[in-house]
Each structure stands twice: as C-alpha cells, then as structure tokens.
Structure 1
Amino acid sequence: MPPVSPSVPTPLPRVSVTTKVRRDGLRALIAAAGPELRSGTLDVDLLGALAATGAAAEVNPLPLTKGPGWLVGVGDGTPRDWRAAGAALVRAATARARALDEAPRPVQVALPGDLEPDLAGEFALGATLGGHELKVTGERPHRVKAVELLSDSPAVAEAVARAVTLAEATALARDLAGTPSNIKNPAWLAETARRTCAALDVKVRDEAWLAKHGFGGVLAVGGGSASPPRLVELSWNPAAAKKDTPHLVLVGKGITFDTGGISIKPAEGMHLMRTDMSGGAAVIAALRGIAALDLPIRVTGLVPCAENHVSGSAYRPGDVVRHYGGTTTEVTNTDAEGRMVLADALAYAVHKHAPDVIVDVATLTGAMKVALGLRTGGVFATSPELAERITTAGADAGETWWEMPLLEAHAADVRSEIADLRQCPPGPGGVTAALFLREFAAGLPWAHLDIAGPARAEKAYDEVNPGGTGFAARTLINLAASYLP
C-alpha cells in the first residue's frame, strides 16, 4: 500500500476580528501580570477567588455568566508574551474539546480596548500557530477551528490579517519540514511547492535538465538515491514593483533526507533528518507569503532538492565535483552535502537572475547549534548593513538571529590543492561553511542564514510546537518588505 500522506497545508484555526458577541462561543479574557487584571468587556463574577498571576501563557478556567471560558495571561505585555498567550489559549481549548470528546465551539477573546494593533497581531499569530498540528493518521481529532478577537478597530483587523498570513507561511514551512521522507522525496517537495504556490510562477527542473546545465553539486549529492534530484524555481514579479526596488533572490537547502552518505551519520537522531530541508521549506513558504501580501518587490526563490543516500552510485570523499558555472570542489565529507547543492543554486542565481541581494538559508552545521543553541539562527553577511537588516526583520517577526563573523583568517582554508575549493576544511565549522558559500556569490551583497538549531523543537514553547518550527519564513517575508520604499 502507498504511504499515508498528511494534508499539506494542514488545517489551521481561522483567526479573525469581529464586533459580534456569540451566544454559542467559548470566552477568553486577558490578564496582565501584577495586581490589575485586564478583563476586557465581558462580565466576570468571580475574580476574587481565582489564583491568577497574569503570567504570560498562564490559562485559568473561568466559569463565566455566558458559558465556560478562560483567563489568559499576557505577562508584561511584550510581543512574545502576546504570541505565547494566543498559542496557550488554543492549546487549552483543543485539550478541553478532546477531553470532553466534543467538537470545539468558536473561541471569542475580549481584547483590551486600548490594545496596540501590533499586539493583537502577535496574539493572532500565536493562536494560529498554537493550533498547528501535523499528523499522519486516519483519525480526525477535535481541534479549534475559529478564534474571534472582539474589536471594532480597523487597525487591529489589518494587523491581525497580516499576522495570520505570516503564521500561515510558518505553518506551511512546518508542514514541509515535518512530512516523513517516505512521502517527501525531491519530486514530492517540488510538486507540493508548485501546488501550494499557485500565485507564483513555479518551474520544476528535473535531473535531465540539471545534467544538461551542469548542476554537478546537486547531481553528486542526489546520485546515491533512487529518487532523483530537482531544482524548484519560484518567481514573484508583480507589475507594481518599481524598477529601483532591489531584486531579492532567496536560496534554500532542500535535502529531503540526509543519511550523511558514505560519511554516514550515527543512527541516533537520524530520524530527524526529514527536516533537513527546513531552509528550502522557509523559502517556499516565504515566497507564498510575499505573494499573499502582494508585496511590490521582485523576489525569486531557488530550492535545490536532493536525497543524500548510501549506495553504489553515491558520491565519495575525495571526489572532485564541477558546479554550475565551472568551479570545482574537492569533497572531503559527504555529510557536508548542503553546501554542495547551495553552491550550484547560488552560482545559477548570479548568472541567471543578476540579483541585487542574495540570501541563502539552511540547516547547515552542527557547529552553529553549539555556538548559538536551539532558538537562535546565525547570520553571516558581506556587510554589517545587510546583517542588521536581517536581524531587524527577524526581531519584528519574533525570530532571533545573531551576526557571526566571516573570518578572513580562514578564507584560505576553503582552497584545495587538487580543485578550486575544498568542501569541508578543518576549523570553525559554521565559519568555513559560510566562507565556502561566499565563493559562489560573485561579490554581490549576500548573506548566509544557518538555522541548524532553531529549525527543530523537541518541546512546545511560546508559539512553537514540537517538530519542524518553520523558523526563518517570517524573517524572509519581513526582509523582502524592508526593501519597499
């Protein structure tokens, strides 16, 4: 029998703004940290006996005069607190529905009347993503389908709509990353990108096209698998884009499963390698979000897709591979496959698209997990201005980045005696990987985003659920928006 495939995109709670109070809905009130509880406009008949602190994401059941509900804490009221509160509320409502085995009713949230629109958006983003759940199962467990924020403010409605679009991009990236690799091979990823990005011009290049055009890195990495590689090219070129607006190219690593190849990985943890295409997922999701927001900027996405497997046709340590454009690379570790496929895509981006800015994103090095942990992405950029633009875009999206150095002292380490470049030299792994990739950016403004740490989560926190996190998708959307006049 064929494997059971999850529904991609997975259903999400529908978060919207309304002025109409439902009779059949569940209720939620907002509490800030400290002695004053900000309860919005709904009637409460008990607060004196409730042991609520208002801490962020604290959810207390409330017997309200109009039916059951919750008091939801937003702590000090930071954007992160509001995202965490939205996610916690939806998780609590879903848990209630499953415990009672009943279809959940819509949840209505009484927002404080003076709430800043952006914070309402953060709550909506958290509520949307807190309800994201990727399951490969024949069962249909109860889930929250609708969250309504009570407000008559057009600014709140606008902020919520934008936040929901960002959340949907993150959720799509989670879906793509979390889909098991017996379903998700390069062809599946490419066709799913085509299907879910109907507003974009999507071209899928097969292995014959890749061979004809000299994508030696992608072909080498994918050569050991029965599932041949692909290149996904997504284009957003709206008529409203002005000529002086930069053309941004986003490149994402699309390794649909990574055994390490002949330099095979340890068995422990290898099952997580279905998420090794999280960079490619972020690029696909970001392009879809950019189109949904109708941003007047030209953006191209490139996702080289391959499965790094072990077989008689797998590439070997010691091989010399010729990339798109002619640069040759000496392979020293087949588990450093991400930079091999990114190199082809970067060179192709420079030659085919002549971009003003290139950004690649990848789960590239374990070294970055050691350096920055599991919730922060690393930024290597050719200029402080570009690095700051990315970290600011991330901060506005609720994603944390840290600028890392492109240490020139190690630039010579990526040179090879037998080829132009050496793929995986000794030294600081995150730095040398970035320096290798820089060789293919042709001196253009370029940044490399290493998301090896935050692309996966083992437990829920804030708006993040266990599994693929969708990290970087929102940052890339905000980055594109930052170039608008």
Structure 2
Amino acid sequence: MRLPLPTPLLAVEAADTVRRGVGAVVLATPGDPVVLGPGGDDVEVTAEVTGGAGTTTKPGARWVLGVGSGTPSDWRTAGANLVRALNGDVERGGATTFDVLLTPDADVRSFVLGLVLGGYRFKVTGQDAPKRIKSLRLVGADAEAVRVAADLAAATALTRDLANAPSNVKDPAWLATTAAKLAGAVPGLGVQVRDEKWLAASGFGGVLAVGSGSSRPPRLVHLTWEGAKTGPHVVLVGKGITFDTGGISVKPAEGMHLMRTDMAGGAAVIAAMIAIARRSLPVRVTGLVPSAENHVSGTSYRPGDVVRHFGGLTTEVTNTDAEGRMVMADALAYAVDELGADVLVDVATLTGAMKISLGVRTGGLFASDDALAAAIADAGKRVGEAWWRMPLLEDLAEDVKSDIADLRQCPPGPGGITAALFLREFTGGLPWAHLDIAGPARSEKNYDEVVAGATGYAARTLVEFVENYGR
C-alpha cells in the first residue's frame, strides 16, 4: 500500500501589494469598538465581528479574522481557524487563494504555523481528496520569517505523516527506507540504514531484544549533517517503535490501535534532521532512530531476561512494555562511544506516567545540565511547544540498579523519573536532555494549530534548539 506522504501543505508567501480581483482577509482585535486592520475601512462591523482569536466572519466581500490579544497562541489559533473556514468555503465553491492584510505587529511565525498546520489532513482513502485552499499571500510580512515558519511547519507535518502511517505498512524497514528516501533528496544530508545483521554484530542487544518477537526485523536509521566544522556535535536520538503490543507484558486492547504513533519521537528526529539540512544550518548534528516492532510470539523477549546493550552494560528486564528505553539505551551508548557526541537529546513517547503528570499539551523535560534544559525550554517557547522541567531525583538513582544485572529496567516509584534515570546511565556523563512526549504526541481533538491524531510535537523544538545551541 502506498501512503499519501509527504502530505501536500498550504503554500504561504510574503507580499508587498494587494492583488486586484482576489479575495482579501482583514484582521480584527477586540475593543469597543472592534479595531480593524489594513483594508478594514469599508468593512461592516456586525455583532459577529468580535476580534476574538480565531473568529472568522464574512460580513461582506472580505473575510474578517479575529486575532485576540495577539499572543503566539492567539496567532496560531487565528491561522488554523482561518484555513479551516476557507477550506469549508472552497468545498462550497469558494475561491482557493486569498490575500491576508497583516497588521504591523503581526506575529508572522506563529500565524504561518497556524495557517499551514491547521489545515493538515492525513487519510488513507480510495476517494478523491476534498478541495482545499491552495495559497495565501501575507501582505506586509517579512519573507524570511514566512520561509522559516513554513520550514518548521513542514517538519511538524512530516512528523505527523510518519506517526499517522498505519503499522501494517509502517514496519522498521519501511520507516528506515522512507527516511532514507526523504533524506536522500536533501543535498548534504547523509543517511545510513543498519539492518538486523549489523545490529547483532555491533552489539545492539536492546534493539534486538525488543524486535525479537516480530517477523519484521529492527533497523537503525543514522542521519548526519555536517553544516559546520566547529561547534558542539549534537546527537538527537528518537524512539522508533513502529507498533507496540507491550510484548509478553501485553497492553490492554483499549487504545492499542494508537500505538502506531509510538515512533513519534523517531519521526520528530527524522523530520528535524531534514529541516536542518534544508535550511543549511551551520551546525554539526547527528540523528539516530533505533526502530523495532514490539510484538508477541514464541521468540519475544521475556520479563526476567538479562540483555546486554551496546557498550556492555546489562539490563534485567522486568516489563517488556517498557521497550522504548531498551532501544534508546543502545543508541545513546553508541552516540557516546562511537560518534564523539558533545551533547545528547533524546525524544520518546516513553511513559504513561508523564501523561498523567503533565497532561496532553506539555512535554516532560529532564536534563543533566541547567543550561541545556533552559535552551530547550526557550526553543520550545519560541516555536509554540511547551516543556516542563522534571527532577532527576538522586534518591531514586540506586533503584535503577539490579541484583542480577547492572541495571533494572523498571524500578518502582515515579515511572517518568525512573525511566529518565535509567537512560542517564547510558549518557557517559555528557550534557543530556530527555524529552518525554507521551502526552502531547497525540491529540483527540483540534486546538490551536494541532489536529486530531499525531501532533508532530517536538520536531520544531529540535530544529530551533539545534540552530541556536552553543552560539
């Protein structure tokens, strides 16, 4: 089965002038009376025109879009709701291109993110796709700001594509091949795909153990961008579990279908690497995505097994459903021992505990270094992704130790913290951050620029962080 990806996205460009004979969108902010932006002199202000963020009305020939108080969230909501309203109008025979007349204080980056991502749609279907708005021109926008925001939106959308793909198609080989194909189209972005034979010869015991129950063997995706000869070498590691049954510690049936998105962290790393290379950022960065399918069979790994990871550390398995940390441990150790990493950032849908702690709109941030934690949180704030720093409680560190192996996979206690403490054992003392996106990687409804399904969370943060770290 061929999947419709990358998903076609709305084209957004900057412009200096308004086109004749083309529909226009006027911006509005709340007030008494409502304040209209450029082009609003002849617009009738009806009771429906409130200026509230994301409100869309068409009192006459022009659309009126409310941008609220002008926060980044307001601008993303405004952009998303505008494109959804225009798409609905296109289905009724409306125009497919418009000029949006910006105000001088417009948050162009947030607005473009909303416009491009709010209309995102992933559906595997035999029917013709519905008609959609094709392009928008932002009159008065800075062209560079539009381009950067569109690149960030494309990274988010690609992450969504990969995570939304159904797992009857998306096995580790498909994910690796797709990543290689996409990366191969970007000049200068190196890509290697390592198969199960290479993983076995190299000692990736965690990846092999998790993948042992599936007839579809594991892979490691290795992406390299050498945009600079100096500066810190950042290694990004993303969990690439293409489907997670829980293994022998099998998950409840309810909600298991959502496990097609359990490789959302790996998808974010792939998409971020492609965006970094497309923008030719002057940085040194490597992306690693250990990928496996955690299945149930007579060859599955078991609770009580002892697994030897890359580099030699051993882990006592206590729950086969805690498979993400097993594959991530191999990749982190590989980055430390073989790649000359200066800083490590991993991202994963790792623990249900983090979803309980922070809900579904905020990612958990663990870090061994205060400056690194601040850099990631600040990057997320600039691109509209929220992170909350969680503690690495040293009084729990000893619980990660095992009586029969070096480490214990699932110690008792707060699951998100103990999972992070387990991963820390493979970081070699380097500056390291762990991003747990179990909550925000999926959504059941639309909000701001997010649509139901995979959200693409973390891809924008990774790009923004890598661009600015160490400068």
Q: Which amino acid aligns with 1:312?
A: G
1:423 paired to 2:422? no
Shift in Å at residue 51 of structure 1?
A: 2.4
Q: Could you tell me which residue of structure 2 aligns to residue 410 of structure 1?
A: 396
State how 1:385-464 maps to structure 2 within 5 Å. 385-464=371-450
Q: Which amino acid aligns with 1:226?
A: S
State how 1:236-315 maps to structure 2 within 5 Å. 236-238=225-227, 241-243=228-230, 245-315=231-301
Q: Could you tell me which residue of structure 2 aligns to residue 362 of structure 1?
A: 348
- Structure-1 separation of matches of 2:21 and 2:121: 25
- Structure-2 separation of matches of 1:392 and 1:221: 34
1:129 paired to 2:117? yes
- Structure-2 separation of matches of 1:332 and 1:103: 58
1:207 paired to 2:207? no
- Structure-2 separation of matches of 1:341 and 1:48: 58
Shift in Å at residue 20 of structure 1?
A: 4.0
Shift in Å at residue 357 of structure 1?
A: 0.5
Shift in Å at residue 452 of structure 1?
A: 0.3
C-alpha contact (below 8 Å) 1:296/1:484 kept by paired residues: no
Shift in Å at residue 108 of structure 1?
A: 1.5
- Structure-1 separation of matches of 2:391 and 2:116: 36
State how 1:95-244 maps to structure 2 within 5 Å. 95-98=88-91, 100=92, 102=93, 104-112=95-103, 114-116=104-106, 119-138=107-126, 139-151=128-140, 156-197=142-183, 198-199=185-186, 200-238=189-227, 241-243=228-230
State how 1:370-385 maps to structure 2 within 5 Å. 370-385=356-371
- Structure-1 separation of matches of 2:242 and 2:95: 35
Further displaced range: 27-36 or 217-226: 27-36
- Structure-1 separation of matches of 2:94 and 2:239: 39
C-alpha contact (below 8 Å) 2:96/2:132 kept by paired residues: no
SS at match of 2:14: strand
Instruction: Tell me which of 33, 48, 63 is aligned to 2:60.
Output: 63
SS at match of 2:39: coil
Q: Could you tell me which residue of structure 2 aligns to residue 16 of structure 1?
A: 13
Q: Which amino acid aligns with 1:55?
A: G
SS at match of 1:265: coil
1:176-234 superposed Cα distances (whole Å, 9 cap, x missing partner):
11011111111111111111123210100001110110101000101111111000000
Further displaced range: 413-422 or 36-45: 36-45
Shift in Å at residue 39 of structure 1?
A: 3.2
Shift in Å at residue 24 of structure 1?
A: 4.7
SS at match of 1:287: helix
SS at match of 1:182: coil
- Structure-1 separation of matches of 2:445 and 2:295: 29
Instruction: Tell me which of 14, 37, 42 is aligned to 1:40.
Output: 37
- Structure-2 separation of matches of 1:276 and 1:145: 32
- Structure-1 separation of matches of 2:273 and 2:34: 41
TM-score for the superposition, normalised by structure 1: 0.94
C-alpha contact (below 8 Å) 2:375/2:469 kept by paired residues: no
- Structure-2 separation of matches of 1:314 and 1:421: 20
Gaps of 5+ in 1: none
1:234-259 superposed Cα distances (whole Å, 9 cap, x missing partner):
00002xx142x111000000000000
- Structure-1 separation of matches of 2:51 and 2:456: 28
SS at match of 1:48: coil
C-alpha contact (below 8 Å) 2:44/2:60 kept by paired residues: no
Shift in Å at residue 19 of structure 1?
A: 2.7
Change (3 A) 1:24 1:180: farther
1:132-191 superposed Cα distances (whole Å, 9 cap, x missing partner):
11111122211111111112x5xx111111100000000000101101111111111111
Q: Which amino acid aligns with 2:380?
A: G
Change (3 A) 1:409 1:484: closer
Q: Which amino acid aligns with 1:196?
A: L
Gaps of 5+ in 2: none
- Structure-2 separation of matches of 1:252 and 1:246: 19
Further displaced range: 167-176 or 43-52: 43-52
Residues paired across the two proteins, number: 467
Change (3 A) 1:328 1:58: same
Instruction: Tell me which of 79, 86, 91 is aligned to 1:86.
Output: 79
C-alpha contact (below 8 Å) 2:379/2:464 kept by paired residues: yes
Q: Could you tell me which residue of structure 2 aligns to residue 74 of structure 1?
A: 67
C-alpha contact (below 8 Å) 1:6/1:134 kept by paired residues: no
